[in-house]
Amino acid sequence: MMTAEFSCVRGRFAPSPSGPLHFGSLVAALGSYLHAKSQAGQWLVRIEDIDAPRTVPGADSEILRTLEQFGLHWDDSVVWQSQRLDLYQHYFEQFQQQQRLYGCQCNRARMAALGGVYDGHCRSLQLAAHDGPLAWRLQSTGVDTEFIDLFAGHQQIPETLATEDYIIKRRDGLFAYQWVVVIDDIEQRISEVIRGADLLQMTPRQQALCRDFSAAVPVYGHLPLAVTAPGQKLSKQNHATDIRRFAPAQTLSAALQFLGQPVPADAAQMPVAELLQFALTHWQNALVPKHAEIQIQSFN
């Protein structure tokens, strides 16, 4: 059904088009780019626009132009999740046939009363489409609570995340992030997933889902988040500043420093291509900070 091994290094940057790229986005893009390219690998870009209500018209084009402005040129064609719905549905139906999924009618009020952790209430009800709008959950077959992160080392997640039957298709008919991101990574032969630490706890679920697809499991590495205060990460939702307002070489230098990497003394005056080449030559995994968050004073 899907590939069971990797033939080459392939990394990716997968922004959601809910607004322009900010400094935190650049850190994730740069880290994934440098890690893949330093191994003579490929670096892909995927537009994660599966959540249509959050998509800002034109933001995808702005994101691609910004990456080019900062010298981050991708290999292969850009993929839009909104153009792959048939693919996600295909695998959804396969899992339905394998009786791995079940309908769930639990609403937000009930989930809130449970503390946000689902208790398997609908697993044995055998609900069908005529029972009203349903979310569809994947029956958990067990998820490892521990994994080794490429940068942060040994990690452990709460047991509740390992045993919960999580949603893969929402009541509104939209596929959930967990489902589509794993299918995309497998279909695009992604061998390493380098991203922000805010997604770290979801990693074991995604590793398990790869195995459910009989596919090779990528290496996962999580970069520290840029925050303005503890727990206040830069994001499009809190209107973090569009990095196109800043000088590319100076901003790339700041991102390299954030990632703990060497920076030339004259980096701010260097051509972007030359600075990136220096960064590729000197990239070191061991220098990436192990902190989940790093507070910054600017770029917001």
Question: pLDDT for 122-141, tens place per residue?
Answer: 999 999 878 888 999 999 88
pLDDT, tens only, 99-116: 999 999 998 889 888 888
Percent above pLDDT 90 for the chain: 75
- The pLDDT value given to residue 299: 64
Q: What domains are there in the chain, each with its CATH number? A: 10-295 (3.40.50.620)
pLDDT, tens only, 34-92: 999 999 999 999 999 999 899 999 999 999 999 999 999 999 999 999 999 999 999 99
Confidence of residue 231 (pLDDT cuts 50, 70, 90): low
Measured CA to CA, the distance from residue 282 to residue 262 in angstroms comes to 7
Residue 4 has pLDDT above 90, yes or no: no
Query: Model pTM?
Result: 0.93
pLDDT, tens only, 211-228: 999 999 999 999 999 988
Measured CA to CA, the distance from residue 128 to residue 168 in angstroms comes to 16
Residue 96 has pLDDT above 90, yes or no: yes
- The pLDDT value given to residue 3: 47
- The pLDDT value given to residue 300: 64
pLDDT, tens only, 162-205: 889 999 999 999 999 999 999 999 999 999 999 999 999 999 99
Name the more confident of 146 and 294: 146
Query: Tokens in use for 50?
Result: 């599966």
- The pLDDT value given to residue 1: 44
